[in-house]
Structure 1
Amino acid sequence: MSSIHASAVLVGDRAILIRGRSGTGKSRLAFDLILAGRSGQIGKTVLIGDDRVEVAATPQGLVVSPAEPLAGLIEIRGLGVRRCDFAAQAVVGLVVDLSAPDAERLPQPAALRTTIAGIELPRLPIAAGFDALPVVVAALTTAEVSA
């Protein structure tokens, strides 16, 4: 298991791993997704970890869990660090990269995949300054069009 700078939420039965440099909005997106789950826009959503998480390659896929000292804690801008319900672990089903240098309006297929710990995963590259929530909700609630 290795520790990475990221946040993660559990949506339904799969985790969304949110990566990005400090200040790119990882905590904000995690909390926005929790709120979207509470409002019914997406499935039930619960925090896994904020700011730092543990990942491990397993036969089931890439498993993410909270970093022990931060379990159940999330930073909410304007309120500070808050305690909330959290999931102990989940298999990652989607990676969101905030402020991704390869983000495009119509991304190339290669940009929509990433490999972590030897496991290939779906990826959403989000441009700097772009609101990630609508893109993530769309990825969770719409079907891909085949050419």
Structure 2
Amino acid sequence: MTLVHGTCIAFPLVEEAGVAAAVLLRGLSGIGKSDLALRLIDDGAQLVADDQVDLELTEEGLLASAPQTIRGMLEVRGVGLVHLPVASKAALVAIIDLVGVDTEIERLPEPDEVDIAGTTLPLWKLQPFESSAMAKVGVIVAVAAGRASIEI
């Protein structure tokens, strides 16, 4: 089991290895991981873990879950720690590094990937407060789970 910093969100309508597909949102403290997660949850996604995520490499792929001590808790800035229903585990299909508005993101980026917990996953960069951020996460999940493709 590998513990990583980030927020993991599952998408129940997209399955991978018999469980919901998920993304790991990474970035500096205060960049907007939990805020983007809250908006995705409000749109039908499920919390896996906020702030810390347990990763386990299995024959089916990389499974994400919450450490027991923080299971079901999402920090909502200005509100507090909110207890929410969670996906007990999810298949991690992509990593999204959240960046600030001052970071330029290529319009048509080359595919990138990252080594994490003994495997390699696709990696994207995203500005979390763009009005299209939630839709872009949905597209990333669809592409990473093989439900859509990108023309390069």
TM-score interval, normalised by the smaller of the two chains: 0.7 to 0.9
Matched positions, count: 138
Instruction: Assess, with a 3 A threshold, how the Cα gap between structure 1 residues 145 and 7 changes in structure 2: closer, same or farther.
Output: closer
**Distance in 1 (alpha carbons) for counterparts of 2:66 and 2:25:** 13
Q: TM-score, normalised by structure 1?
A: 0.81
Structure 1 pair 75–93 and aligned structure 2 pair: CA distance change class (3 A): same
TM-score normalised over the length of structure 2 = 0.79
Alignment of 1:78-89 (within 5 A): 78-89=78-89
Matches within 5 A, 1:1-147: 1-12=1-12, 13-37=20-44, 45-99=45-99, 103-109=105-111, 111=112, 113-127=113-127, 130=130, 132-140=133-141, 143-146=148-151
Report the structure, 1 or 2, having the larger helix content: 1
Secondary structure of the 2:43 match is helix
Q: For the Cα contact (< 8 Å) 1:99–1:129, is it kept in 2? A: no
The question of whether the paired residues in 2 share the 8 Å contact of 1:104 and 1:127 is answered with: no
| CA RMSD of superposed structures (Å) | 2.3
Secondary structure at the residue paired with 2:46? strand
* Rounded Cα–Cα distance in structure 2 between residues aligned with 1:141 and 1:59: 21
Where does structure 1 lack aligned partners over 5 or more consecutive residues? Answer: 38-44
**1:2, CA displacement in angstroms?**
1.6
1:14-56 CA-partner distances (Å, limit 9, x unpaired): 111111111111111111111122xxxxxxx211100111112
Q: Percent identity?
A: 33
